Amino acid sequence: MGGVPHRSYDHYCGVSRALDVVGDRWSLLLVRELSSGPRRYSDLFADLPGISTDILAARLKDLERDGILTRQRVGPRASTAVYELTATGTALRPVLDALSVWGTPLLGERRATDAVRAHWFALPLGRAVAQHFPDETVTVFIGDTVFHVTVDDAGHVSHHDGPAAEPGRALHLDLDTATAVAIGAVPLAEVAESR
């Protein structure tokens, strides 16, 4: 690793240039994992079932080189590395959202081979929150997973680790309910009313 040349499409086109950077297998899922806050290598490895440690290390290196994420040493004796999206990496949110909008109807029933993590529902739930509660800060609890959703003045949705600082609406969902809201089978407003 290191010094491996970029494989570019060599097309003078914005789509191609974007895919030069984030078009490799796993890259956008790594951005998904970092979309609510920093993560350690071990978090990433645990929440990207199917990735190999070689590929994970290589992708992290590539994405750091390309300015999508930064790597910082934290903790006692700076012993732990933490990965965090840069502003450029955070700007990929609309790409994740467009893929999520298009791919969520394909979810159907969970397959026996499918891994699932509660935080993977943050993207569709964020869109549901923006639609139903655009003026509120909403904290979502799914099991041990806690994140809050914010919508800025321009309507851009984002989600962030942990509960919101200021009090606001809280939603406690289980995975089945999160799924139902994500695929649009149940309106978020209906779930919220019963809490």
Binding site for a second copy (CB under 8 A): 8-21, 23, 25, 28-29, 32, 49-50, 91-92, 94-104, 106-107, 110-111, 113-117, 120, 123-124, 182
Please, what is the minimum distance in Å from the beta carbon of residue 69 to a second copy? 15
CA dihedral 165, 169, 172, 178 (to 10 degrees): -100
CA dihedral 101, 53, 69, 98 (to 10 degrees): -10
Structure tokens at 57: 């290390």
Minimum CB distance to a second copy smaller for 10 or for 144: 10
Please, what is the minimum distance in Å from the beta carbon of residue 184 to a second copy? 11
Minimum CB distance to a second copy smaller for 7 or for 77: 7
Q: In one letter, which amino acid is 42?
A: S
Please, what is the minimum distance in Å from the beta carbon of residue 103 to a second copy? 3
Q: Which helix (H) or strand (E) holds 149?
A: strand 145-151
Minimum CB distance to a second copy smaller for 26 or for 133: 26
Minimum CB distance to a second copy smaller for 45 or for 169: 45
Residues 6+ apart with CB under 8 A from 162: 37, 146, 147, 148
What's the CA gap between 66 and 83, in Å, rounded?
Answer: 14
Please, what is the minimum distance in Å from the beta carbon of residue 154 to a second copy? 14
| Cβ atoms 26, 59 nearer than 8 A | yes
Minimum CB distance to a second copy smaller for 170 or for 180: 180
Please, what is the minimum distance in Å from the beta carbon of residue 91 to a second copy? 6
